[in-house]
Amino acid sequence: MGRAMTKQQRADIRWALSDAFVDNEVDYAAIARQTEEFDRDEIKRILFEEVAPVCHSNLESTLPTIWLCFNREELESDIEKMLNAKKHNWMKSQLNSLLVKWLKLRYKYIWHNIETHY
């Protein structure tokens, strides 16, 4: 449990975790199966620090459109842009840190549901 991940595996994990932010029924067991061979703390970090900041607005919309998944390439691109901006801009880093704290509170049920299937 907890092996190192390649760039492709990280992208696959991000893709799997993004399923928690779609408007249809979430298959938490499937997300757990797709991420179980990696360190749980790292999966949780990826969920809240990489995926949730990009995907959470889908669940926050008052009139969400029904969609089955995010666009995989756009998801990766958006996450990488966000991480790069955070790395190179102190203010964006601070704002992102506050956002992540809020996301951990707001969406703790997502992690709880994933974790129960490990």
pLDDT tens column, 82-103: 999 999 999 999 999 999 999 9
pTM over 0.85: yes
Q: Does the structure show a pLDDT above 70 at 33?
A: yes
Mean pLDDT over all residues of the chain? 91
Find all residues with CB under 8 Å of 24, minimum gap 6, and list them.
66, 68
Q: Give the DSSP H/E element, type plus range, for residue 63.
A: none
DSSP H helices in the chain: 7-18, 28-35, 40-46, 52-55, 57-60, 72-88, 90-106, 108-115
Cβ neighbours of residue 81 closer than 8 Å, sequence gap 6 or more: none
| pLDDT reading at 65 higher than 80 | no
Residues of the chain above pLDDT 90, percent: 81
Nearest by Cα to 76 from 51, 42, 39: 51
Which range, of 32-36, 41-45, 46-50, 66-70, averages the lowest pLDDT?
Answer: 66-70
DSSP annotation of 2: -
